[in-house]
Amino acid sequence: MDGLLMEISSPFQKGSTSVINKIKGVWEGYLFLVHLHKENEQLKKRMADLQRENDQMREMVLSHERLRKLLQFRETLSSTVIAAEMVGRDPSSWFKSVTINKGEKDGVRKGMAVISSEGVIGQILKTAPSHSVVLLITDYNSAIDSIIQRTRAKAIVEGGGENRCQLKYLLRAEDVVPGDKVITSGLGGNFPKGLMIGEIRKVDKKGHGIFQYAELVPSVDFTRLEEVLVIKESPPPPAEEKVKKVKKAK
């Protein structure tokens, strides 16, 4: 009798337990999902925070690397330099200039040379107490006295607009080939001798006249410009030259 009763009631018990289990499962699953959702949100937030932190760290490393390079380059220079940061670009597309965060208060004056570890950037065009405008070497109004590193041929580097320059007054007789490096000559007083300006991309000897045409790619990528150095003072003449000058004076 007990067995029969058990046999009859147990399917109900089983059914009831199964319903309870199902409800429990759904409930737990639901609660779990809620927790999972919350946890997921928290993890996403944490991941975004870590990503941001990672980006900042990476930016710091890159900035550190750039500054270290600039500092190393600064140590190689005999002139006094002022480190500055680029804060803006030219508002128009006809002209090529950048604004830097150093001005007259820091000793920046019109005509001073602006360089980076990659090479020549330009010269100071306008000054304000704490900002200055730098005329880039790619601007049409820019001209720098230069020499071809390999042949020592003299020429003037003039701006040619979008990331290019041209060599003017380069004698046709001079041996110049694409790939030749062009450096500052030191004449003119603003730029010390030997600073990299760029590399010759194209040489054209067609046409008449005593000069040849050469196109130059600046060694500095002006689209990635961030930190620059303003050359405050030209290096003093070497000791030997000083002695000669004194002798001549006597």
Is 206 near another protein (CB under 8 A)?
no
Q: Is the dihedral of CA 125, 127, 133, 136 positive or negative?
A: positive
SS3 category, 20 = helix
Contact 220, 136 (CB under 8 A): no
Nearer to another protein, 183 or 220 (CB): 220
- CB-nearer residue toward another protein: 73 or 211: 211
Angle among Cα 224, 229, 234 to the nearest 5 degrees reads 145
**Choice between 106 and 139, CB closer to another protein:** 139
Q: What are phi and psi of 206, to 5 degrees?
A: -70, 165
Cβ atoms of residues 84 and 97 within 8 Å: no
Positions 103 through 162 that interact with another protein (CB under 8 A) = 125-126, 133, 135-136, 139-141, 160-162
Q: Which residues contact 126 (CB under 8 A, 6 or more apart)?
A: 110, 132, 133
Query: Residue 31: in which H helix or E strand, if any?
Result: helix 2-76
Residue span binding another protein (CB under 8 A) among the ranges 82-90, 102-110, 145-153, 228-236: 82-90
Least distance in angstroms from the C-beta of 83 to another protein: 20
Query: Which of 70, 81, 84, 99 touches another protein (CB under 8 A)?
Result: 99
Scanning residues 159 to 198, which ones bind another protein (CB under 8 A)?
160-162, 164, 166
Binding residues (CB under 8 A) for another protein: these are 87-97, 99, 125-126, 133, 135-136, 139-141, 160-162, 164, 166, 223-224
